Structure 1
């Protein structure tokens, strides 16, 4: 009976199986990376609306059983890539499905202080630079890539010497005596400001936090903005090797036109004739005729300099362990002889998922840099040196004398200023600086409960710098010291510990909450040692044996530190995906400030409204995004020297019959009430996108006011001290920032995209304290201004920082009758002397006739990038501009001066030599050009438009194990359109000094460079 039943049921069972098989089908496919078409393992493939899904295998392949009927939708998702939906047709194969790395979508995650956020959820003003943008330009420092690419950020190459610094200003200048540079945070380590040792190729992204909503989480260090640098991490399921090599040449962009030997000899004869008409000329006309052009000292010290870079990186891992390991060597010669910069770096980043709740992040770098410098003042101070001496040295003299020895100096010609041979200086002076740096950051993340994560971070930054300088006795520079040697070392290191709790939950479909709270402690240390000695009987050993110097000077050493303790918190609340709220508070305690004000408190609040998500906006089909932002907050600035609030003592020594007596002397007045500068800032922003994000526009308007400036004020002579650091004064900034990104053309083989940004900032001194409305400031060289009293700028209430202050040039006195008619009684002038405006009409040219004659702060800055792609060919063109900024050209001030007898600019050939001959260049030996201070005709328009970067690259076809490869050529600083007469309008010889902006005196020239490179990926 049982056997009979089984036989009867068998056909039914077979029919049922065949029916079930007919109702399903197998669908398979492959998923690849859109960048290099390589398979992507581990991609999640899920049937939309169900939990049915699989992951791709190591070859990027997958297979799913789906219903036979219908058109199901598969959702492909993978970490770091934009998700994609694919509708399955009637066939059994899907793909290949190409996933693109997520880089521009509103759901992309950007780094903010102590966390990340979706771009769509930002309430503050944040600018970003991607790894692709960093890779476009062969730069030496990471902060150089910000130039012209982020609205509201002005980057100035203050020193173009290899390894030289740049100045970064975010939304203007806030402070007078304190720092104005932003806080740099590298992989979460705050205060990692020395970017010379950071390899730009290691950078994944740079975020610039600009308004108080985004910077207040950094409290006392956020007033000048914050730059977050994130280095590359490993990518799961994608083991790769990438290498890059480029090499090129640098040439000077422009040279000064100077007198040749014949013109200079004629000039010297004229100076002598005006000084003493009875003295015979220095050179006869026959001698002058035989001189020819003479020596071009700029050509003698300048060269075509090479630049090269070698990079290799290893990246990959699994979902549990990811790694990024890179090696880099960068070598840049300077265009001045015997100058250059070299850097070697090794970086290792690891991310380890130990369990479902615990993970570790490890970020580390070891770097070494080496600088050869040919830039130090030939007189031992801040100015002069190889470049300026090349401009001043006599073209009559050769580089070498008849015996093949360097020409020593301009002498023995008595009428010529004593200047040393710049080629001898460049080739024989040994000026070296080497730096070793280690940067380490380790973080542990533990999910306590769902949505609540504890993160504990410990970091260490160690920086040791060694300097050696030897000036031999057989050149002009060492003649007075018998050879001089200097060795010094500076060790700076800091550690940081940060502990944060982050609660991040979608509470319901309409409510989302992100809360961050934490405690941070950071301590900075410094140790330095210097030794110097003179009078060497041999130059053979240089700085290798200081004991050979017969005249040692007292060595110096020091140790110093400061500490910062902080509590901080931030709440982000999202309502209905369209109402966004942010509240932040940080409390900082600093050892730098007085015992009565150790702690400062820095709150901020922001709100954003995503109008695009309102139902009534749906009829505006052209709109892709529309968001309004509003923020206000207070941030601080603590960038002053250590121990400023305390009574300090320094060594006081003098010689006596019994030897050197050493004691201590008080240096300052203590101020127990010293506290932070505080900057209150408001921001209104608009984010707009059109036509499926083909046009993306951002606008921000801000106002800032910095109160309680850390300002040195003069004290009565009875105190025995010149000044004291107190909290007085106010500075205001307000500005507008615009950014536009467009996809102009997008075809199968050709595309054209553009990125433009525009910024303007208006700076104003609002107060200098009670009873003070202006103050003369600015650095100057004693070689230019008699007595070293030539202040170049003024701080005046109602005017911006960087206001040049001097006399108004009004041409040249042509005749004695003109002088008599002018009514000027003092100083005594002669025909051919410069004429200055008597602004107060008292008949004398005095300090009371000075006025503001220019502004260093620009009217506006801009940048524009256009990218064109055709097949594998890509052309990128970047233009940068600064408008309305003046530059004080002190090189010209000296090289057109009639009182010195060094070489002059070619323009002096056409100097005044009788009525009507010149109304711009005074007569030879006119003393007024230098005896009065700066004059308006050497404050020049520093506006410029620069074709900053042009890169042409070609992506080569895949070949064997080579997954990707490309070749490229890049031109940097290709063309500069400017009226400025100096080497380059982008200059500041005083580095980051706040009160001597845009001053050009012996600055290392900017170069034009051409490089060619190749990138290969395996």
Structure 2
């Protein structure tokens, strides 16, 4: 039964509705009121007051509410990082790692706009739903939405006409390494990486972009982090990085002028994003071990072989053979009955750990609002080396330890509609401590020590034989050091829209400051060693060889470096009637000061940059870029140069005649030509005053107070003379000296096919580099002064790159396969050098870093071969003493003599491989994911060092086990067994030295294939995590340098073998890692 309201109650009810409408400011409350006061017959329902349920219902309807949802792709997989925005408002959110989001909506009429790179934008009405499941379709041309970093800006991948390659933070963090340069190998086509050492804190790779194009200047690329030049990008925490891009052709690098010839690496760090803050914590615990360890002879084998070597050498020197080890000695070595005086030490087993540990922590906060976005990160990395204390009782730790602290804060402020500011701060503190010996010296001794060299360690004491040392003395005898470096970077960037002048016009100004310091403290002291003395009664005493000494503190002068960068630019971008035009005008100035050298003036650059980019409907593309770049490294009239580049592109798939199909979805053809420069005319150009100011007249060289060729000396001849430091004219000046000039040509093809699942990029390139700095070799020494360095050299470098990537899914299983292949070969067109008797001995015409040596054609196997009157005569032996087991060399010029005229180009370059390739694949299914990366190199040669290629090196032998089983002996030859090495010989001068000349026998084929990286992980389901307050959690295991296949000697890594001759490297390490990432 419905009752009618009286006038009083009706008025009272109306006032309540008006009050609610005023409170919530929602016009549709009127509709609720109208529906409430009318009944089916048009009469007014009786109600004296609004009950509690009605008020609560109204409150829920009219108030902003929060809805949740999940964004998925067509296969049901979640899409992290998708943008979710309420249409027509500034309210927005971002999906988390599990594709989930929450967002506040004003009413049921709200519409959500969902966007994600690679997917079509979708609009979803909210209605009354509280939870949404939204499915996005893949974009018909996902390339349209992909942006890439270029010099001083970004461009859409679809319209870019330059040669660039990029990877994301996901690829970088799959490699559990301390140094990000070691994460790049195999992941970027065109990037050649060689890692010569795995030493903690000194394990960075040598990076080359498209190989080498100079034979004296620096080949290192320019590196910028967030647009600012840095010197230690290797130490950045990979968790801070958003992505890495390399710029390879002139179209991409011309804007960097004299700094762009070697390519550019752009590192972009993570920035804040809209949405509630996400706190991320990552922890990794890894174990390292050497990728390769040599196998050594045991003492009996070594002593017996050494006697045989002396016997062989006695013939050469016409001396009586006297064995070093008697039959009694050999018996004791074999039985092992007297380890103190007839030891058998495996030095690697004694001094090298099986594994060492490294740990990494990273804590990051990322989020933001419409006004401010932030990304803050702090990290700690701790790594220890593989040296073992060997049981030595010492009052300091000789272990190499590397500790690094990282901090970064990137803040973006929206000050007004047109005005924005970005403030970036970062700091890196590195601490490297351990023994004070040169690591290569330790490895030299460790690789060269005979198993019977000393008794090793007894009761914590280092024991030595008289007249002999030990690898342990190198590790302990020089004390310890503490090396601290810190770097502080800060930058402020202001952006302002100038659309009140014309649409699309913006400006920005930037100032950046970099402060780098280093303090090295050394504590020197000779370590106490002992000698075992056997008493007549058979007992043994340990005699201390020196008294304990206090540490001698040896501080070094601190290094202090400063760099200030200033930049101002105008940017323009506008689209009208299918025409898109963008432009850049920029001024940049850099000033660097190195306080380590008081007499060095600051190093400065100044540049004016311009770029004009045009495309018509994404079909016809063109770009002109240039820089007018100046450097004070040259004389005033030679300091500035103009560096232009031109590029065009055509997209046939955008033509009307191109059929729409699923086989070829997109195709772009592009080409570029331009000029860039290189002012780093030597590897240490800016830090060496004797090579930096070569244009000054005259060029003086500082001479020390006790040098014969330049210091002043006073006093009576034959008595003590007082010497004083002096300056002398070291070489003639080169006032016309200028930068290396690089002309680059690039042709590229980008293709997307198979319904957007396949992407292919092909690149062909050629570079001609001239003005290469060189000292003329044809100037006579009779001039009395060093020849002036000149821009004399010329080289070219050409090659190609292929990058193929396929991504698809089978229901819930997503997978990818990717492969890349890069080839680059250089050639010296001209290098000023002395004329050679034979053209093949000239360096001109060959690759930079070409090895030269003799062609080994097996061995002399019989005395008949040795005594053959027609064989060539060997000038490297006294009396031409050859015997069976010696290396036979080819007489290249046919003059009947083996001498330097028979040295020819052998192998490939030892600087960088000509071929780099990689194959990766992986997949994900529900919460499980995995990836595998194989990486390899080819056309690469390294000469074995003498400790590796000579069984007995002047009494400092390597004793490699390979020589025991593969060296020439009459017995092995008679049995037809494989022989890969010459007869044993001690190798002093004439006594067998010619067997170890640089030749094809000792030039190693350093091509290799590595299982570079493997990772497997599992991400827990959100339903489980939400119960404990977590957004996402992923556990994973990954490994680096797991397996290596190569043709090198056992125990020699093909990359670490690239160090200079006679310098044994701290080997590369294999890393196995466990990690967890938690997001709150």
Q: Which residue of 2 aligns with 1:171?
A: 210
Post-superposition shift, 1:132?
1.5
Matches within 5 A, 1:855-894: 855-856=908-909, 857-891=912-946, 893-894=948-949
Matches within 5 A, 1:653-664: 653-654=705-706, 656=714, 657=720, 659-664=722-727
Matches within 5 A, 1:693-842: 693-714=756-777, 715-747=779-811, 749-769=812-832, 796-821=843-868, 822-824=871-873, 826=875, 827=877, 828-831=880-883, 832-842=885-895
- Judging changes above 3 Å, is the alpha-carbon distance between structure 1 residues 730 and 825 closer, same or farther for their aligned structure 2 residues? closer
Post-superposition shift, 1:666?
2.4
Instruction: Give the conservation status (yes or no) of the 8 Å contact 1:612–1:627.
Output: yes
Matches within 5 A, 1:468-483: 468-474=521-527
Post-superposition shift, 1:74?
5.8
Instruction: Give the conservation status (yes or no) of the 8 Å contact 1:888–1:938.
Output: yes
Instruction: Give the conservation status (yes or no) of the 8 Å contact 2:662–2:755.
Output: no
Q: Which residue of 2 aligns with 1:119?
A: 157
Give 1:941's match in structure 2, choosing from 997, 1005, 1015.
Answer: 1005
Q: CA RMSD in A?
A: 3.6
Instruction: Give the conservation status (yes or no) of the 8 Å contact 2:1008–2:1046.
Output: yes
- Judging changes above 3 Å, is the alpha-carbon distance between structure 1 residues 812 and 563 closer, same or farther for their aligned structure 2 residues? same
Q: Which residue of 1 aligns with 2:382?
A: 331
Post-superposition shift, 1:152?
1.0
Give, in whole Å, the separation in 1 of the partners of 2:1063 and 2:805.
39
Give, in whole Å, the separation in 1 of the partners of 2:303 and 2:258.
60
Give 1:502's match in structure 2, choosing from 571, 591, 597.
Answer: 571
Q: Name the structure where strand makes up a greater proportion of residues.
A: 1
Give 1:437's match in structure 2, choosing from 466, 469, 487.
Answer: 487
- Judging changes above 3 Å, is the alpha-carbon distance between structure 1 residues 61 and 41 closer, same or farther for their aligned structure 2 residues? farther
1:907-931 alpha-carbon deviations (Å, 9 max, x no partner): 3324444473656322333533468
Instruction: Give the conservation status (yes or no) of the 8 Å contact 1:944–1:985.
Output: no
Instruction: Give the conservation status (yes or no) of the 8 Å contact 2:485–2:519.
Output: yes
1:288-342 alpha-carbon deviations (Å, 9 max, x no partner): 3233881111122211110110000011111210111111000111223411321
Post-superposition shift, 1:29?
6.0
Give, in whole Å, the separation in 2 of the partners of 1:376 and 1:576.
64
Structure 2 length-normalised TM = 0.80
Give 1:588's match in structure 2, choosing from 629, 648, 653.
Answer: 629
Instruction: Give the conservation status (yes or no) of the 8 Å contact 2:694–2:735.
Output: no
Q: Which residue of 1 aligns with 2:472?
A: 422
- Judging changes above 3 Å, is the alpha-carbon distance between structure 1 residues 825 and 439 closer, same or farther for their aligned structure 2 residues? closer
1:44-76 alpha-carbon deviations (Å, 9 max, x no partner): 344xxxxx678468941436666xxxxxx9661
Post-superposition shift, 1:639?
1.2
Q: Which residue of 2 aligns with 1:129?
A: 167
Residue 320 of structure 2 is aligned to residue 282 of structure 1: no
Q: Which residue of 2 aligns with 1:850?
A: 903
Give, in whole Å, the separation in 2 of the partners of 1:362 and 1:774.
64
Q: Which residue of 1 aligns with 2:410?
A: 349
Residue 189 of structure 2 is aligned to residue 151 of structure 1: yes
Secondary structure of the structure 2 residue equivalent to 1:937: coil
Q: Which residue of 2 aligns with 1:395?
A: 451
Give 2:675's match in structure 1, choosing from 630, 634, 639.
Answer: 634
Give, in whole Å, the separation in 1 of the partners of 2:846 and 2:547.
45
Give 2:701's match in structure 1, choosing from 629, 649, 672.
Answer: 649
Residue 722 of structure 2 is aligned to residue 667 of structure 1: no
- Judging changes above 3 Å, is the alpha-carbon distance between structure 1 residues 610 and 833 closer, same or farther for their aligned structure 2 residues? same
Give, in whole Å, the separation in 2 of the partners of 1:897 and 1:596.
58
Instruction: Give the conservation status (yes or no) of the 8 Å contact 1:987–1:1003.
Output: no
Q: Which moved more, 1:875-884 or 1:135-144?
A: 135-144
Post-superposition shift, 1:424?
5.3
Instruction: Give the conservation status (yes or no) of the 8 Å contact 2:942–2:1058.
Output: no
Secondary structure of the structure 2 residue equivalent to 1:223: coil
Aligned length in residues: 927
Give 1:907's match in structure 2, choosing from 962, 971, 975.
Answer: 962
Q: Which moved more, 1:760-769 or 1:211-220?
A: 760-769
Secondary structure of the structure 1 residue equivalent to 2:148: strand
Q: Which residue of 2 aligns with 1:464?
A: 517
1:542-571 alpha-carbon deviations (Å, 9 max, x no partner): xxxxxxxxxxxxxxx654421111111001
Q: Which residue of 1 aligns with 2:49?
A: none
Q: Which residue of 1 aligns with 2:219?
A: 180
Instruction: Give the conservation status (yes or no) of the 8 Å contact 2:92–2:274.
Output: no
Q: Which residue of 2 aligns with 1:314?
A: 365
Q: Which moved more, 1:368-377 or 1:599-608?
A: 368-377
Residue 268 of structure 2 is aligned to residue 255 of structure 1: no
- Judging changes above 3 Å, is the alpha-carbon distance between structure 1 residues 279 and 496 closer, same or farther for their aligned structure 2 residues? same
- Judging changes above 3 Å, is the alpha-carbon distance between structure 1 residues 866 and 104 closer, same or farther for their aligned structure 2 residues? farther
Give, in whole Å, the separation in 2 of the partners of 1:836 and 1:767.
30
Q: Which residue of 2 aligns with 1:973?
A: 1041
Instruction: Give the conservation status (yes or no) of the 8 Å contact 1:610–1:627.
Output: yes
Structure 1 length-normalised TM = 0.84
Q: Which residue of 2 aligns with 1:987?
A: 1055
Instruction: Give the conservation status (yes or no) of the 8 Å contact 1:492–1:524.
Output: yes
Post-superposition shift, 1:491?
1.8
**Unmatched segments (≥5 aa) in structure 2:** 1-29, 39-60, 94-100, 338-342, 389-398, 531-544, 686-691, 707-712, 715-719
1:567-588 alpha-carbon deviations (Å, 9 max, x no partner): 1100111212211111011011
1:177-213 alpha-carbon deviations (Å, 9 max, x no partner): 11101100011102x1322431111000111111111
Instruction: Give the conservation status (yes or no) of the 8 Å contact 1:595–1:672.
Output: no
Q: Which residue of 2 aligns with 1:784?
A: none
Instruction: Give the conservation status (yes or no) of the 8 Å contact 2:747–2:764.
Output: yes
Give, in whole Å, the separation in 2 of the partners of 1:744 and 1:37.
15
Q: Which moved more, 1:361-370 or 1:29-38?
A: 29-38
- Judging changes above 3 Å, is the alpha-carbon distance between structure 1 residues 1000 and 97 closer, same or farther for their aligned structure 2 residues? farther
- Judging changes above 3 Å, is the alpha-carbon distance between structure 1 residues 867 and 41 closer, same or farther for their aligned structure 2 residues? closer
Q: Which residue of 1 aligns with 2:433?
A: 372
Secondary structure of the structure 1 residue equivalent to 2:636: coil
Instruction: Give the conservation status (yes or no) of the 8 Å contact 1:124–1:213.
Output: yes
Instruction: Give the conservation status (yes or no) of the 8 Å contact 1:75–1:83.
Output: no
Instruction: Give the conservation status (yes or no) of the 8 Å contact 2:223–2:267.
Output: yes
Give, in whole Å, the separation in 2 of the partners of 1:1001 and 1:246.
33
Secondary structure of the structure 2 residue equivalent to 1:818: helix
Post-superposition shift, 1:40?
9.6
Give 1:597's match in structure 2, choosing from 638, 646, 669.
Answer: 638
Q: Which moved more, 1:211-220 or 1:328-337?
A: 328-337
- Judging changes above 3 Å, is the alpha-carbon distance between structure 1 residues 674 and 895 closer, same or farther for their aligned structure 2 residues? same
Give, in whole Å, the separation in 2 of the partners of 1:92 and 1:200.
40
1:194-251 alpha-carbon deviations (Å, 9 max, x no partner): 2243111100011111111111111111111100001010112231100000102111
Give, in whole Å, the separation in 2 of the partners of 1:898 and 1:606.
57
**Unmatched segments (≥5 aa) in structure 1:** 1-12, 47-51, 67-72, 413-417, 530-556, 777-792
Instruction: Give the conservation status (yes or no) of the 8 Å contact 2:560–2:594.
Output: yes
Q: Which residue of 2 aligns with 1:448?
A: 498
